[in-house]
């Protein structure tokens, strides 16, 4: 009897589940019919006479268009805005479409969805490597290498290598990279240079994988999203490598931050020189076991590239925005090393970063911005207000009785950390990591700079709580400089626009 009773109970459960499933299927069919009817109404209103349902099915299988650009190994990917898809660099955005650019850099950064990997036919690499002043070509490719890169080369050495002209190595590497080849030959870190790292943190799994890549190549560039732990990888390597180290940063604020973390999280602060990109003369005669270039997208600039000539046995580049508008993106790789990337989607799935709430208020003028700021600050949160204009920043500082941190300020990091709300000029754009940050407000900015927009949004990911990013723009600024918002859209984040 118990068996029969259990059978009847099971039968009833299965019956309920079947009825629920049938109800869901019916609901889905009704929803599909409703959408079809609405689409037909839109098409009819648009005077589109025919609607091919079969073609719609094909569209849903592949809801994007891939088109070649004029450059080799580069494509446009055109995606309707109602499709939530991000692939590479958002080049432009219309009311209906997002237009992305995909090239070898996007591929190397690991930022092409697996679904699309096979769609892009990158040309085969020329299998050459650069090592110790030589291009290692093998017998098969020596002639082709000589013909293609002769302006950088001095003479053939035997049948399988070519000597590089003195001082031309980085330019040659950059050209080879531009042609689609990563010419880095692994130069394994010598065991005699290593010791157990003494640090007060533990590397995540993907950080450990990057560490292993460094030990294999001796020179890498790490291009993870903001707050993914690039600095901690640098700290670990500073602790693990014996000898003097050099860290190069773009601002004094970042200099303070690295020095603080070296003191608090490692035992090797006395072994490390931390300088800004403007301080080449201070260290040009020094020799280091490791050089770290933080925000290494600055390194190819004419003013700063000579820092790459610093005598360092190993090197590490760090950047969340490894692009340059002047066409020198190749040099970011050439001057740092083998690229290590991890796309945003993977980091979101790992819980390393969380999508913030983003609002854009479009207001009449600066006065209206200040009034809106007054309303926002009623809600007490740990806040950084970014303001490029020194004059406007001082006005905000006086009106709301909050500190203004600019290029003339001392103890910048300390002021930002201690104040509940602070106004910060461009000196806080890059690398700034404040754990209790809850809100970023942009009230004044560098025109259409998408790098700056991305960097400022990135400060929010360093917080321990899900934060909000608020942008205040005038109508004119929105018309002229909305391109900076692509830095947000290309990562799949939504912006609530409020007028």
How is residue 94 written in tokens?
Answer: 């219309």
Predicted local distance difference test score (pLDDT) of residue 193: 98
Average pLDDT, stretch 274-279?
96
Predicted local distance difference test score (pLDDT) of residue 349: 81
Residue 12 has pLDDT above 80, yes or no: no
Residue 46 has pLDDT above 60, yes or no: no
Residue 411 has pLDDT above 60, yes or no: yes
Which residue would you say has higher pLDDT here, 29 or 246? 246
Q: CA-CA distance, 273 to 264, in Å (whole number)?
A: 16
Question: CATH second-level architecture of 354-498?
Answer: 3-Layer(aba) Sandwich (3.40)
Side-chain-side CA neighbours of 30 within 13 Å: the count stands at 6
User: For residue range 246-271, what is the model confidence (pLDDT) as tens digits?
Assistant: 999 999 999 999 999 999 999 999 99
Predicted local distance difference test score (pLDDT) of residue 117: 80
Domain ranges of the chain: 2-57, 62-119, 129-170+172-178, 183-348, 354-498
Which single residue is written with the structure tokens 């560490």? 211
User: For residue range 107-166, what is the model confidence (pLDDT) as tens digits?
Assistant: 887 778 777 888 888 888 889 999 889 999 999 999 999 999 999 999 999 999 999 999
User: For residue range 355-400, what is the model confidence (pLDDT) as tens digits?
Assistant: 889 999 999 999 999 999 999 999 999 999 999 999 999 999 999 9
Q: CA-CA distance, 474 to 491, in Å (whole number)?
A: 24
Which residue would you say has higher pLDDT here, 44 or 130? 130
* Average pLDDT across the chain, whole number: 88
Q: CA-CA distance, 172 to 331, in Å (whole number)?
A: 10
How is residue 499 written in tokens?
Answer: 């007028």
Work out the percent of the chain whose per-residue pLDDT is above 90. 58
Residue 8 has pLDDT above 80, yes or no: no
pLDDT-based confidence at 2, cuts 50/70/90?
low
Q: CA-CA distance, 440 to 39, in Å (whole number)?
A: 40
Q: CA-CA distance, 176 to 149, in Å (whole number)?
A: 9
Contact present, 315 and 290 (Cβ < 8 Å): yes
Q: Decide: pTM greater than 0.85.
A: no
Q: What is the DSSP letter of 92?
A: E
Work out the percent of the chain whose per-residue pLDDT is above 70. 90
Q: CA-CA distance, 119 to 122, in Å (whole number)?
A: 9
| Ramachandran class of 88: left when φ > 0, alpha when ψ lies in -120 to 50, beta otherwise | left
How is residue 178 written in tokens?
Answer: 């531009």
CATH classification code of 183-348: 3.40.50.300
Kindly give the residue spans of alpha helices, DSSP state H, lying in 219-365: 230-240, 252-265, 280-283, 329-336, 344-349
Same fold, 183-348 and 354-498: yes
Residue 84 has pLDDT above 80, yes or no: no
Q: Which is nearest to 199 in space by CA: 249, 162, 170, 233?
A: 233
Predicted local distance difference test score (pLDDT) of residue 34: 67
User: For residue range 182-198, what is the model confidence (pLDDT) as tens digits?
Assistant: 999 899 999 999 999 99
Which residue would you say has higher pLDDT here, 145 or 7? 145
Other beta carbons within 10 angstroms of residue 24's beta carbon come to: 10
State the burial class of residue 168 (Cβ atoms within 10 Å of its Cβ: 0-12, 13-18, 19+).
middle
Q: CA-CA distance, 24 to 27, in Å (whole number)?
A: 5
Q: What is the DSSP letter of 267?
A: S
Residue 288 has pLDDT above 60, yes or no: yes
How is residue 197 written in tokens?
Answer: 């790292």
Predicted local distance difference test score (pLDDT) of residue 302: 85
Predicted local distance difference test score (pLDDT) of residue 105: 86
Q: CA-CA distance, 141 to 159, in Å (whole number)?
A: 10
Task: List all residues 6 or more positions away from 270 whose beta carbon is below 8 Å from its beta carbon.
Answer: none
pLDDT-based confidence at 41, cuts 50/70/90?
low
State the burial class of residue 496 (Cβ atoms within 10 Å of its Cβ: 0-12, 13-18, 19+).
exposed
User: For residue range 295-319, what is the model confidence (pLDDT) as tens digits?
Assistant: 999 999 988 988 988 999 999 999 9
Which single residue is written with the structure tokens 């626009």? 497
pLDDT-based confidence at 206, cuts 50/70/90?
very high
Strand partners, 472: 361
Q: CA-CA distance, 307 to 431, in Å (whole number)?
A: 19
Q: CA-CA distance, 426 to 452, in Å (whole number)?
A: 9
């Amino acid at each position: 009897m118990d068996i029969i009773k259990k059978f009847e109970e099971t039968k009833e459960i299965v019956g309920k589940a079947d009825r629920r499933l049938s109800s869901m299927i019916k609901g889905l069919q009704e929803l599909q019919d409703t959408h079809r009817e609405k689409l037909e109404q839109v098409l009819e209103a648009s005077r589109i006479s025919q609607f091919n349902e079969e073609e719609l099915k094909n569209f849903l299988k592949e809801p994007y268009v891939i088109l070649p650009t004029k450059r080799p190994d580069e494509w446009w990917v055109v995606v309707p805005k109602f499709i939530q898809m991000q692939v590479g660099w958002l080049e432009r955005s219309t009311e209906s479409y997002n237009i992305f650019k995909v090239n070898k850099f996007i591929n190397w950064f690991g930022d092409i969805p697996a679904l699309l990997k096979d769609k892009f036919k990158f040309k085969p690499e020329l299998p050459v490597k650069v090592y110790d002043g030589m291009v290692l070509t093998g017998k098969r490719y020596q002639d082709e290498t000589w013909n293609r890169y002769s302006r950088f080369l001095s003479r053939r050495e035997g049948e399988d290598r070519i000597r590089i002209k003195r001082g031309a190595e980085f330019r040659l590497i950059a050209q080879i990279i531009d042609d689609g080849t990563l010419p880095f030959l692994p130069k394994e870190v010598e065991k005699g240079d290593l010791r157990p790292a003494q640090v007060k943190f533990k590397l995540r799994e993907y950080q450990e994988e990057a560490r292993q890549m460094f030990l294999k190549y001796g020179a890498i560039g790490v291009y993870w999203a903001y707050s993914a732990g690039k600095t901690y990888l640098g700290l670990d390597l500073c602790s693990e490598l014996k000898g003097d180290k050099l860290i190069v940063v773009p601002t004094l604020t970042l200099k303070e931050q690295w020095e603080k973390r070296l003191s608090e999280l490692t035992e090797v602060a006395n072994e490390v020189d931390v300088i800004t990109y403007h301080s080449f003369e201070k260290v040009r005669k020094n020799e280091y076991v490791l050089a770290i270039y933080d925000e290494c997208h600055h390194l190819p600039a004419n003013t700063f590239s000579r820092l790459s000539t610093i005598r360092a046995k190993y090197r590490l580049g760090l950047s969340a925005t490894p692009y340059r508008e002047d066409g020198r993106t190749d040099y970011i790789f050439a001057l740092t090393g083998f690229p290590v990337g991890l796309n945003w989607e993977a980091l979101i799935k790992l819980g390393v970063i969380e999508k913030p709430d983003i609002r854009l208020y479009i207001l009449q003028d600066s006065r209206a911005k200040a009034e809106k700021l007054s309303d926002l600050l009623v809600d007490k949160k740990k806040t950084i207000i970014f303001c490029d204009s020194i004059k406007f920043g001082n006005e905000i500082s006086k009106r709301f009785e909050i500190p203004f941190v600019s290029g003339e300020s001392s103890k910048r990091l300390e002021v930002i950390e201690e104040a509940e709300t602070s106004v910060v000029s461009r000196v806080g754009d890059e690398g700034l990591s404040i754990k209790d940050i809850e809100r970023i407000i942009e009230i004044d900015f560098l025109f259409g700079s998408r790098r700056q927009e991305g960097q400022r949004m990135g400060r929010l990911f360093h917080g321990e709580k899900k934060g909000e990013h608020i942008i205040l723009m005038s109508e004119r600024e929105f018309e002229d400089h909305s391109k900076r918002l692509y830095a947000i859209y290309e990562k799949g984040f939504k912006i609530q626009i409020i007028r």
